[in-house]
Structure 1
Amino acid sequence: MTTDLADWPIAAAMLPFSSRLPDGSPLQTASAEQWHPLFQEIAEAGFDHVDLSDNCFRPGDMPDDQLDALASVIKLARLKPSSISVVRSSVIDERHGDDHLAYSHRSLEAATRLGIGTVSIGLHRPLTEAQQRQLWFWTVAGHRDDPDDRAQWQKAVTRIRELGQHAAELGIVLSLEMYEDTYLGSADSAVAMVEEIGLASVGLNPDIGNLIRLHRPVEPWLDALRKVLPWSNFWHAKNYMRDEDAERDHYVAFPAPMESGLIDYRQAMKLAVEAGFRGVICLEHYGGDGLSVCAANQRYLRERVLPACRHVTPHASRVRQPHRG
């Protein structure tokens, strides 16, 4: 196996962790000593990289001294921060879009301070009350971007291009997370968006898991991946079991380990390597002991999937890939 494949950065997402300490106080404003057990737990699960998913921390809202303390705690746990995932902060939100745009800019600056080369953003909105009441929030429809609203589409292009230019100035890459019912909600729309933005610093986060979990007809995962992988520079990777009975209009999905779900990650990773993808892989899982499932998924990738990619001939990616550091 090449060194590139052997050293591929695979990060744990922070989705399994709460944004609050046991006493109810915010994790964001806790002390370095209170942060340390969380990162130590991630390291003890077998990870050497961590994605700073902003469901726990919001680096873009931290002053420099707090970012420096965060970096020290992560280093003390023998981890490396690989990426920042900004979620549910759409820059075209009708009420909060301006604030989200400013926060996304601050997140890019925070990434640079932390030595991070990748920031992922999306156009998905906060969960509705109905979604929050469900066991699996994706079984209830949330906000939908209007595909016929060309002014709103252009606003997304303009604002993301602004962020992409900022990322390029900082020497990092911006990744756009695929998510249902947004302008990044299908392979064709996501590719059209990144093509219109037209910056090498802006690519896609091919989170096809966000799509195959929907309880409705979806594009076949392999068809979607073939379209988006050449434009991809970061990857929220997860898997779901899925059952379909189109004749009865019956669709069911629920989280599963990577090797057991619908997406064949052995095939998907070969296609990614062939497409020139070299971005960070961030492992996510909902439900149960998410960290342990992600740890098992990392072993699956390192021990079985990546070795199977060693003979794949890579092509040039259509977007800039993050600096490994």
Structure 2
Amino acid sequence: MIPFPGKLPNGDLVQDARPEVWEQNLAQVADASFDAVDPTDSWLRIADLEPARLSEFLSICDGLGLSIPAISTARRSVIDPEHGGEYLAYSHRVIDTAAQLGIGHVSFGFFGPLSPSQMKALWFWTEQGVQNPDDPDVYRLAVDRIRELGQHAESCGVRIALEMYEDTYLGSARDAVRFVSEVNHPSVRLNIDIGNLIRLHRPVEPWAEMIELCAPYAGYWHVKNYYRIEDPSGLVMTHPAPLLGGTINWRAAIRRALELGFDSPFLVEHYGGDGLSISAANRDYIRTILPGGTIRT
């Protein structure tokens, strides 16, 4: 749902909007031949809907033929210096909501709110964002809180995926593997969203190396691609691309992940342009790669 903003043109939150507004957005998703949707809390926090409103949301999805295999969260880090405790409680509500609705996967991350410079930029990843502190006590707090969420998820039959993202404790392949190994819980996996790293205007690990290191720990997976240009002068520039046209060879990446045991849903994403239609094309491309030509959910 990232092509759909969390605020309406008049400034009101989609969270507080009439169900007809939700239906207008979700109808576009169904019209693009999707039969599954991740509400994504940058658009709508379904874990914070009152029971009657949640029922209305579910009724809309059911009427449009949309199942909900996963819930993704964004910029609600459980180690946020101001709101970490609040976001931890929210994360528990997300797990409870997933369990209540029979949703098998949730995605969490340690990335913070967009900085003022990021909000002004054409592409927010070209400006510096919030960085996780180089502080062993905060790192330990992050490990402990994710393990706590993992224990909750396990009791509910839900799996957690931790989103790889720059300048966080999951900001490189090695850091991500180290962190999930420190958590050491069977319900906690990695959301190996390597597109978040390939798009950076700085040196990054080769995508194939990231897949090789992280795929054995992979759970629910956000996928997107970018064109990446590296000039001999050191200048790096990137731009969103469809899965089949960018720097990452997604056919090779997905096939290797399958060989290493990946068995969770994909979330197709795209920033800029007609993101929904490009996401639909990305969905169809993935189906040509998977055995049997269908997405396994």
Counterpart residue number, 2:190: 204
Q: Distance in 1 between matches of 2:183 and 2:132?
A: 18
Counterpart residue number, 1:305: 289
For 1:108, which of 86, 95, 102 is the aligned residue?
Answer: 95
1:230 matches 2:219? no
**One-letter code aligned to 2:258:** V
Q: Distance in 2 between matches of 1:309 and 1:26?
A: 38
1:64 matches 2:28? no
1:84 matches 2:68? no
Counterpart residue number, 2:141: 155
Q: Distance in 1 between matches of 2:293 and 2:174?
A: 26
Counterpart residue number, 1:264: 249
**One-letter code aligned to 2:7:** R
Contact 1:71-1:114 at 8 Å conserved across structures? no
Contact 1:68-1:114 at 8 Å conserved across structures? no
User: Over residues 261-305 of structure 1, what are the superposed CA-to-partner deviations in whole Å (9 max), with x where a residue is unaligned?
Assistant: 011010011111111111110001000110000011111111x22
Displaced runs of 4 or more, over 4 A: 307-310
Q: Distance in 1 between matches of 2:255 and 2:40?
A: 26
1:193 matches 2:179? yes
Give identity over the alignment, percent: 47
Q: Distance in 2 between matches of 1:87 and 1:66?
A: 22
For 2:278, which of 293, 305, 317 is the aligned residue?
Answer: 293
**One-letter code aligned to 2:169:** Y
Shift of 1:309: 8.7
Q: Distance in 1 between matches of 2:85 and 2:59?
A: 32
1:248 matches 2:261? no
User: Over residues 60-115 of structure 1, what are the superposed CA-to-partner deviations in whole Å (9 max), with x where a residue is unaligned?
Assistant: 21122222221111111101012111110111111111111111111111112232
Residue 18 to residue 262, structure 1, CA distance change in 2 (3 Å):
same
State the TM-score, normalizing by the size of structure 1. Answer: 0.88
Counterpart residue number, 1:20: 7
Residue 145 to residue 20, structure 1, CA distance change in 2 (3 Å):
closer
Q: How does 1:100-179 map to 2 (within 5 A)?
A: 100-147=87-134, 149-179=135-165
Q: Distance in 1 between matches of 2:212 and 2:44?
A: 33
Q: Distance in 2 between matches of 1:225 and 1:259?
A: 17
SS at match of 1:252: strand
1:277 matches 2:262? yes
SS at match of 1:52: coil
Shift of 1:145: 1.6
**One-letter code aligned to 2:227:** M
Shift of 1:225: 0.9
Q: Distance in 1 between matches of 2:56 and 2:185?
A: 33
User: Over residues 180-229 of structure 1, what are the superposed CA-to-partner deviations in whole Å (9 max), with x where a residue is unaligned?
Assistant: 00001011111111111111100000000000000010000100111110
**One-letter code aligned to 1:33:** E
For 2:82, which of 82, 92, 95 is the aligned residue?
Answer: 95
Greater RCO structure (CA 8 Å; 6+ sep): 1
User: Over residues 33-80 of structure 1, what are the superposed CA-to-partner deviations in whole Å (9 max), with x where a residue is unaligned?
Assistant: 332121111011011110111111012211222222211111111010
SS at match of 1:49: coil
Q: Distance in 2 between matches of 1:112 and 1:128?
A: 33
Q: Distance in 2 between matches of 1:249 and 1:217?
A: 9
Give structure 2 stretches of 5+ with no counterpart: none
Counterpart residue number, 2:168: 182
RMSD: 1.6
Shift of 1:23: 4.4
Q: Distance in 1 between matches of 2:283 and 2:293?
A: 15
Q: Distance in 1 between matches of 2:129 and 2:26?
A: 32
Q: Distance in 2 between matches of 1:252 and 1:64?
A: 46
1:30 matches 2:17? yes
SS at match of 1:69: helix
For 2:204, which of 218, 225, 229 is the aligned residue?
Answer: 218
State the TM-score, normalizing by the size of structure 2. Answer: 0.96
